[in-house]
Amino acid sequence: MGVPKNLLLLHRGEEEVRQKNISVVTADPDLVAHLDLTERAMDLIDVFVRQQVELDDDGRAIQHLGIRVFNGLATAWKLMASGYYQKAGLIQRDLIETIYLINYFHINPETLPVWRVADRKQLQREFGPVAIRKALDTHDGRGKSAREGIYYKFCNLAGHPTRAGFDMLRPKGGAAIIGPFPDNAALRALLEEQGSLAVQAGFALSVWLELEAPMASSTAHRFLTGAMDYSGRFLGKVYSPEDRADVDRLYCR
């Protein structure tokens, strides 16, 4: 029988929306910048996973989390480009949770083997999203951060069925649409989140990268210099010439 006709027609509609959204991105330097940083982060993760040899289960676990992040960045882009904005947001919520967990293991490496064998109750109690956010906030030493608000924003709009989430099913001011549709405002908002998440993902995984691995130094340098430019342009964090010189010294080999 083959693939049902209606599913083939749906895919055709998705591809039409994708072409429209790609045209929108191509015409806007800011939107291109969000995707450029996404690609740089994914390139770094690719080197970390495919070029770096891990000899123990803990190292391989971080690589597996890296794969999850790589696939999440790729899937979120594919969904938003194809007109499924709410589902792209759902993937981005997973990215937030995974990136926080990777950061936690860098700070507390002794907990990684515990996490690998933990049962459901222990996972929720010690490694659930709330526990990880609190641990990261405590480590930062600046009180409660914006992590909780960011996470629940994605839960409310994309992760759970809510009235607020209905807004992601319609173009601004219009009626809800079943299936994919073009929406420049939703595309822009999600790409802005994508760029920010790519910065966090690249930084989180770069600390696990062994610079002796093939292409590691050059790929890390490309990501870090791009992330510094991006942070100054979009995130309000300007890196000094000294910061940039340090990156050149450490990663230009």
Task: Kindly state whether residue 6 falls inside one of the protein's structural domains.
Answer: no
* pLDDT confidence of residue 57: 96
Backbone φ and ψ for 141, nearest 5 degrees, come out as: 70, 20
Residue 142 is part of which domain span? Answer: 13-251
Q: Tell me whether residue 191 is exposed, middle or buried, using C-beta atoms within 10 angstroms of its C-beta: 0 to 12, 13 to 18, 19 or more.
A: buried
Residue 129 lies in a domain: yes
In a domain, 225, yes or no: yes
Q: Which residues, at least 6 apart from 243, have a Cβ–Cβ distance to it below 8 Å?
A: 228
In this predicted structure, what is the pLDDT of residue 145?
82
Query: Is 58 inside a domain boundary?
Result: yes
Whether residue 167 lies inside any domain: the answer is: yes
Q: Using alpha carbons only, how large is the chain's radius of gyration in Å? A: 19
* pTM score of the predicted model: 0.95
Confirm whether 137 is domain-assigned.
Answer: yes
| Residue 42 belongs to some domain of the structure | yes
- The count of structural domains within the chain is 1
List, for residues 140-191, the tens digit of each pLDDT value.
Answer: 987 778 898 999 899 988 999 999 999 999 998 789 999 999 999 999 999 9
Residue 40 inside a domain? The answer is yes
| Number of DSSP helices (H) and strands (E) in the chain, helices first | 11, 0
Segment 29-44 shows an average pLDDT of: 98
Each residue's pLDDT tens digit, 95-130:
999 999 999 999 999 999 999 999 999 999 999 999
Q: Do 217 and 252 touch, CB atoms closer than 8 A?
A: yes
At 243 the pLDDT is: 95
User: Looking at 17-26, 33-42, 166-175, which range is the least confident one?
Assistant: 166-175
Residue 253 has pLDDT above 70, yes or no: no
The token pair at 49 is: 């996973």
